[in-house]
Amino acid sequence: MLLQAQSVTAFYGDAQALFGVDMHIAPGEVVALIGANGAGKSTFLKTLTGLLPAKQGEITLDGARIDRTDAADIVKLGVAMVPEGRRLFPSLSVEENLHMGTLSGRSGAWNLARVYQLFPILKEKRHQPATSLSGGQQQMVAIGRGLMSNPRLLLCDEISLGLAPIVIREIYAALPALLADGMSLLIVEQDVQLAMQVSSRVVCLQEGRVSLEGPSGALTREQISSAYFGI
Amino acid sequence: MKTALTPYVNDDAYAVIRGNAFSRALPVLTLVVVIVAASLPYWGESSWMREVVEISCYFVFAMMWNLLAGYGGMVSIGQQAFFGFGGYLMLILGNEVGINPFVAIPIAAFATALIAWPVSFLAFRLQGGYFAIGTWVIAEVFRLSFANLHWVGGGSGTSLTALRGIDRAVRESTTYWIALACVVGVIAAVYLFLRSKRGLALLAIRDNEVAAASQGIDVRRMKRAVYLIAAGGAGLAGALYFVSNLRISPDAAFSVNWSAFAIFMVVIGGIGRIEGPIVGALLFWFLNKFFSDYGSWYLVGLGCIAILVTVFFRDGLWGALHRRFGWSLFPTHRFLKVRS
Amino acid sequence: MALLALKQVSKSYGALTVTDGVSLSVAEGEVLGILGPNGAGKTTLFNLISGDTTVDAGEVEFNGACINALAPYQRCRLGIGRSYQVPQPFGAMSVFENLVTAACFGAQLPEKDAWAVAWDVLQQTGLARFANQPAGSMTLLNRKRLELARALATRPRLLLLDEIAGGLTEHEAQELVEELKRIKNTGITIIWIEHVVHALLSIADRLHVINFGKTLCVGEPHSVMQDAEVRRVYMGLEA
Amino acid sequence: MADMLLQGLLLGGLYCLFALGQSLMFGVMRLTNTAQGDFIILGGFFSISLVAATGLSPGLALLIVAPAAFVFGYLLQRFVLNGTLGRDPLPSLVVTFGLAIIIQNLLLEVYSADPRSLDAGPLALASVALGFATVGSLPLLTFAVAVVATLSLQALFSFTALGRSFRAVSDDREAAQLMGLRPAIVYAQATGIAFVLIALAGTLQAMRTTVSPSDGPLLLLFAFEAVIIGGMGSFWGTLVGALLLGITQQVGFRIDPGWGIWLGHLMFLFVLLVRPQGLFPKTRG
């Protein structure tokens, strides 16, 4: 297993957000994490990246514990995140934002040229302030920034959020290119249909617990609806 | 505009309890303390009275700083502007206008609150740390302005001559009684204010400004009111201090040390609680009495204590006691007791 | 007459338009549900109604009068009570005091009457056993409940609820819906942003679906949910 | 008239050096350092002692003072100030204010209250004729240093990886962590650089006029005014703000020696009233 999480619990202050979540991701695998708002998807990603330390449980990357590791070190070990809301640096240009990815110090197939090849529009706008771009282009910068760190596991949090369908298709069209290098993906997506299309396995969270897990093709709509909404 | 009050569960179902055993005994305790303290001029030495007056000024000033920063969230390093203004105003009213300086004290305090109104429009342009330094600049403007007023002695200051005709013993005991009244009055006023409906609004603003506004509280107006009250209180302390001191100068009246000592007292005692400045002022008086001979080393020590307390005990001494034993001398909360 | 009406309301942040010419009206006593994907601009809509954000263009009318120029506290006093998606309790105050504050200033009641309102709301919302607990130490779900309770304590004519059912069990969600029905029966108008669709459907008189800051669809709840575009936008599931 | 403006500009150059460190620390971590002025004075005294002890020229002494100041600033931020950062401004204010009092009184113990200065050697008396006026070489040098420092700081922010990390951490601390940055270290680096500027300002102040232990607060206020007049987050703004302040004070000094600083404060309050965002606010998308 590339990544393994066992019985992970997490709190925001006194409020518990995760109640013993188990999950694993194999090398090269694409896993979709779905669930209603407030189910704990983003919280779980935060514990994986070290931004919100897990209270209990164990998270391992290639067998080595990372649940007590500083966020700045986890990205150096090869877990990168495309955060919800993109979180680009407004005072940095497109290219400078992409450069931030290289701070992981990891070498690999991804560099500026390859990101520009994947998203040609970014090359055109590379000197503009990142937040002056359209929502879809900003999302491309966020993904590109994640790729520049040459991760083994890329966590994508709601990358279709607030984007027009055609832009979403454009962004998801880029995913196969990532997989070519054997990178693993964990995708948080509220668009269930889309999540099922791109992933090989689906994990559904409800109220901070795993409510459903299975191969993407084998789950029925009823199963998902019930795990998602509780109806 | 509102829908009519619907009948609620009858009043016997619940009771709202305010206060604790100590606060219920507070009026009697206060009375005893005040009577004993008020008789001091008849059995104590005049140096004691001067000491009490001086620490009273520090205390009133610190109490107002606590109201401003601890409850209003406005951390200022410029409250000496109002301290000095109150002092000068009292002196001008006494020397130039011919009002009895003791009577001039409350007038000066009120006028200081008024002058704080236009000042607030400048100060409120800044937030957080910049508010703090901005108020300091404003205090410097006050200082330099008075230093350029030659009819009050310019940079070297002047003396309060209006009290010259009064017998020294009468002057000292009157000053002492006024100081005592100021201390009791300020504690009572702040306590009653915090227990009142408006006090609830202030506590809400301290917790969460956005939510306070969404619950019908006029946050700006409330903060401005607190700023004016704190300025008036600082003016009161200043007027009292210079009635006792008889000599004023811009450097003494508008010294940043006033704010520094207030911050020290409040932070050490516990910010955002009435007990804080009380404990802080007592501690400050104690340290001052026994260590001030060490001069600058004493001040270095005060600076170190302030830093250590801020880093390691953010709630100050009383905050630590409150957490450990649940002590509260001036409870403001509303405890709901359900009767079944 | 409509209690609340938005007329061609728009709001932009720099190049990003978050509310784009939205019009809606709510009749007195009605429950309007608002649906839309994350980032569609639903909470911004609430901010425009409550005054936390001011409109760039268009008009917000409450009870027939334009309230564009009013500050949040004034709108609250007029009778617009709101809850926040991310709960904003007065953390150092007890739950009871949170409610007393709302009743004192939102409903502008003398303190003793405010106690009565707070007591009543505590009973209604099932928060009575937490009455003396500091609001900041409560769990997320209870803090959300407090959001509703505190908005109620302002004695609103219009109640704005922002995602208060997320994370509830099915049973709890049903209880919440029953509670909202009781509130509705007292004549309070409700606008409810909610992702827990089945809860919303069980009480809403109409649904208003927003996407990219624009109105996508308005109408009778079940027909709106059958709308192919709505299903696609909302869940990505083809109808 | 021209001479007055020129003197004002040169004074403003010195104020710019006082202010750049403040501007930098506020820009990167929203920290208001109320001990800014006292640290400048401390830097001045440190240079004086170093020159006295080693016999180095002030210029050479800076080669030791600057790195020492960096290390001092770095450690101060890393082990003291980082712990005070947060939404509540009180902890950082109290701690830096406490430091100010400690520095003032320690300097008083060690150096007494007498003003001291740093012998600038032949530079102190040299002057340059500019046609319409003659200016001292030292004030001119100070002015040049201020412009170069502003330019360098702007370039550091715009073109280097370090500047990029400063901007990133300032924009979004959490996202920066996800990139592998440690905010605690980045903040310490920023304060280290700010302290190099502080030491430079202190040394030049000691060379131009005098330093005494109680001078700090006034310098803090000048620095603060320059930053606010110029607009927060812009180094060029800080330079312009400082020059404006210098000119205004100079005009005041000409009218009456007691009015210079007072008029500077009033100009600051006027700007605050009519343009609270400053002359060159940083605009963000």
Beta-carbon contacts of B305 under 8 Å, excluding residues fewer than 6 positions away, are B264, B268
- Mean pLDDT of all residues belonging to chain B: 91
Asked if the Cβ–Cβ distance from B136 to D221 is below 8 Å, we say yes
Could you tell me which chain A residue has the CA closest to the CA of C170?
Answer: A230
- A113 Cβ under 8 Å from any chain C Cβ: no
- C88 Cβ under 8 Å from any chain A Cβ: no
Asked if the Cβ–Cβ distance from C236 to A13 is below 8 Å, we say no
By percentage, how much of chain D surpasses pLDDT 70?
Answer: 99
Residue B72 has pLDDT above 60, yes or no: yes
Instruction: Specify the pLDDT at position A196.
Output: 86
Asked if the Cβ–Cβ distance from B214 to C104 is below 8 Å, we say no
Residue type, C90: F
Of A147, A186, A212, A145, the closest CA to residue A42 belongs to A186
Asked if the Cβ–Cβ distance from B141 to D228 is below 8 Å, we say no
Three-state helix/strand/coil letters over D207-268: HHCCECCCCHHHHHHHHHHHHHHHCCCCHHHHHHHHHHHHHHHHHHHHHCCCCHHHHHHHHH
Lowest mean pLDDT among A185-199, B228-242, D65-79: A185-199
Residue B3 has pLDDT above 50, yes or no: no
Q: Provide mean pLDDT across the span B31-35.
A: 94
Token pair recorded at residue D78: 């890393």
Asked if the Cβ–Cβ distance from D171 to A100 is below 8 Å, we say no
Cα D195 to Cα D22: distance, rounded to the nearest angstrom: 10
Confidence of residue C147 (pLDDT cuts 50, 70, 90): very high
Residue D81 has pLDDT above 60, yes or no: yes
Residue B231 has pLDDT above 80, yes or no: yes
Residue B249 and residue B153 in contact, taking contact as beta carbons nearer than 8 Å: yes
Report pLDDT digits (tens) over A177-188. Answer: 888 888 999 999
Residue type, D122: P
Q: Which chain B residues have a beta carbon less than 8 Å from that of D32?
A: 128-130, 132-133
Instruction: Specify the pLDDT at position D284.
Output: 42
Q: Which residue has the higher pLDDT, B83 or D56?
A: B83
Domain extents in chain D:
2-113+132-274
In sign, the C-alpha dihedral spanning A155, A158, A163, A168 is positive
Lowest mean pLDDT among C118-122, C197-201, D273-277: C197-201
Instruction: Specify the pLDDT at position B6.
Output: 42
Residue D213 has pLDDT above 60, yes or no: yes
Confidence of residue C236 (pLDDT cuts 50, 70, 90): low
> Strand A30-34 and strand C206-211: pairing?
unpaired
Cα D47 to Cα D52: distance, rounded to the nearest angstrom: 8
Confidence of residue B49 (pLDDT cuts 50, 70, 90): very high
Eight-state DSSP code of residue B96: I
Residue C169 has pLDDT above 80, yes or no: no
Scanning D129-188 for CB atoms below 8 A from A yields 161, 164-165, 167-168, 170-172, 174-182
Instruction: Specify the pLDDT at position C232.
Output: 66
Report pLDDT digits (tens) over B121-139. Answer: 999 999 888 999 999 999 9
- CATH code for the domain of B6: 1.10.3470
Asked if the Cβ–Cβ distance from B334 to C97 is below 8 Å, we say yes
For testing contact with chain D, the best of A51, A91, A157 (most D CBs within 10 A): A91
Asked if the Cβ–Cβ distance from D285 to A100 is below 8 Å, we say no
pTM of the model: 0.90
Lowest mean pLDDT among A48-52, A207-211, B56-60, C158-162: A207-211
The C-alpha of D158 sits at a distance from chain A's nearest C-alpha, in angstroms, of: 9
Beta-carbon contacts of A193 under 8 Å, excluding residues fewer than 6 positions away, are C235, C236, C237, C238
Q: Provide mean pLDDT across the span B250-264.
A: 94
Low-confidence ranges of chain A (pLDDT < 70): 14, 162, 228-231
Cα C164 to Cα C166: distance, rounded to the nearest angstrom: 6
Asked if the Cβ–Cβ distance from B16 to C115 is below 8 Å, we say yes
By percentage, how much of chain C surpasses pLDDT 70?
Answer: 95
Which residues, listed in sequence order, are joined to residue C11 by a DSSP beta bridge? C19
Scanning D206-235 for CB atoms below 8 A from B yields 217, 220-221, 224-225, 228
Token pair recorded at residue D117: 């200065």
The arrangement of secondary structure in D2-113+132-274, i.e. its CATH architecture, is Orthogonal Bundle (1.10)
Domain span at residue B159?
2-338
Closest CB to B215 among C94, C105, C117 = C105
Asked if the Cβ–Cβ distance from D221 to B137 is below 8 Å, we say yes
- Mean pLDDT of all residues belonging to chain D: 91
For testing contact with chain C, the best of B336, B337, B338 (most C CBs within 10 A): B336
Of B101, B112, B95, the closest CA to residue B151 belongs to B95
The b/e string for B256-268 (b: 16+ C-beta within 10 A; e otherwise) is bebbbbbbbbbbb
Note whether B touches C: 3 CB pairs or more under 8 A: yes
Q: Which residue has the higher pLDDT, C38 or B21?
A: B21
Q: Which residue has the higher pLDDT, A35 or D236?
A: D236
Beta-carbon contacts of C52 under 8 Å, excluding residues fewer than 6 positions away, are B210, B213, B214, C46, C72
Q: Which chain A residues have a beta carbon less than 8 Å from that of C169?
A: 207, 230
For testing contact with chain C, the best of B18, B206, B214, B273 (most C CBs within 10 A): B214
Instruction: Specify the pLDDT at position C90.
Output: 94
Could you tell me which chain A residue has the CA closest to the CA of D233?
Answer: A91
Percentages helix, strand, coil for chain C (3-state, rounded to 5) are: 40, 25, 30
Chain A: touching chains (3 or more CB pairs < 8 Å): C, D
Report pLDDT digits (tens) over B183-200. Answer: 999 999 999 999 999 999
Cα A20 to Cα A41: distance, rounded to the nearest angstrom: 13
For testing contact with chain A, the best of D167, D179, D234 (most A CBs within 10 A): D179
Confidence of residue B8 (pLDDT cuts 50, 70, 90): very low
Report pLDDT digits (tens) over C10-58. Answer: 998 876 788 889 999 999 999 999 988 777 788 899 999 999 999 999 9
Instruction: Specify the pLDDT at position A230.
Output: 53
Report pLDDT digits (tens) over D95-149. Answer: 999 999 999 999 999 998 899 998 877 777 788 887 777 888 888 999 999 999 9
Q: Provide mean pLDDT across the span D218-237.
A: 91
Q: How many domains does chain B have?
A: 1
Residue C162 has pLDDT above 50, yes or no: yes
Residue B211 and residue C143 in contact, taking contact as beta carbons nearer than 8 Å: no
Q: Provide mean pLDDT across the span D167-186.
A: 94
Q: Which chain B residues have a beta carbon less than 8 Å from that of C123?
A: 9
Instruction: Specify the pLDDT at position B158.
Output: 92
Cα D272 to Cα D274: distance, rounded to the nearest angstrom: 6
Q: Provide mean pLDDT across the span B7-29.
A: 78
- A17 Cβ under 8 Å from any chain C Cβ: yes
Report pLDDT digits (tens) over B267-301. Answer: 999 999 999 999 999 999 999 889 988 888 999 99
Token pair recorded at residue D170: 């300032």
- A103 Cβ under 8 Å from any chain D Cβ: yes
Number of other CB atoms surrounding residue A229 within 10 Å: 18
- B268 Cβ under 8 Å from any chain D Cβ: no
Closest CB to C101 among B9, B11, B204 = B204
Residue D237 has pLDDT above 50, yes or no: yes
Confidence of residue D64 (pLDDT cuts 50, 70, 90): very high
Residue C239 has pLDDT above 70, yes or no: no
Q: Which chain C residues have a beta carbon less than 8 Å from that of A13?
A: 136
Separation in Å, CA B207 to CA B192, B202, B277, C92, C139: 20, 9, 20, 7, 18
Angle, CA C151 vertex, CA C149 and CA C157 arms, to 5°: 125
Three-state helix/strand/coil letters over B214-276: HCCCCHHHHHHHHHHHHHHHHHHHHHHHHHHHCEECHHHHCCCHHHHHHHHHHHHHCCCCCHH
Residue D258 has pLDDT above 90, yes or no: no
